[in-house]
């Protein structure tokens, strides 16, 4: 299931996670984000509990997006041990994201 991340839940849900975390930085008005969203949702059901998959609305959480230098959306960031290990800007396919998660799971 895809989680909704917020600035308030960021520390617990993303930075303190023992599993790799994929974060889709998005906004409701962003056309490419509407293309990326279903890819991320499908990926969440496919990876099960090997990783945490979620989205952060940049309009509602601008300080968190800014902290990670998100300037274009969609941006996908994969976190491991609280740090970004891979980042993708623009619509990114499921295979590439699965590969990046597998690499983060190492």
Look up the CATH number of the domain holding residue 52: 3.40.30.10
Q: Of 45-49, 50-54, 78-82, which gets the smallest average pLDDT?
A: 45-49
Residues 104 and 20 sit within 8 Å (Cβ to Cβ): yes
* Residue pLDDT, tens place only, 35-46: 999 999 999 999
The pLDDT of residue 105 is 87
- Counting the structural domains of the chain, the total is 1
* Cβ atoms of residues 48 and 102 within 8 Å: no
Q: How far is CA 15 from CA 7, 38, 83, 101, in A?
A: 11, 24, 7, 16
Reported as a single tens digit per residue, the pLDDT across 5-35 is 999 999 999 999 999 999 999 999 999 999 9
Residue identified by tokens 């056309």 is 31
3-class DSSP state of 55: strand
What are the catalytic residues? 30, 33
**This prediction's pTM:** 0.96
What range does the domain containing 59 cover?
3-105
């Amino acid at each position: 299931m895809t989680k909704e991340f917020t600035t308030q839940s960021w520390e617990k849900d993303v930075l303190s996670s023992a599993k790799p975390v994929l974060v889709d930085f998005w906004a409701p008005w962003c056309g490419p984000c509407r293309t990326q969203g279903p890819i991320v949702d499908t990926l969440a059901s496919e990876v099960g509990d090997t990783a945490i998959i979620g989205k952060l609305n940049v309009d509602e959480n601008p300080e968190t997006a800014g902290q990670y230098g998100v300037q274009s959306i969609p941006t996908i960031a994969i976190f491991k041990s609280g740090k970004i290990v891979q980042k993708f800007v623009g619509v990114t396919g499921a295979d590439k994201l699965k590969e990046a998660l597998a690499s983060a799971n190492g």
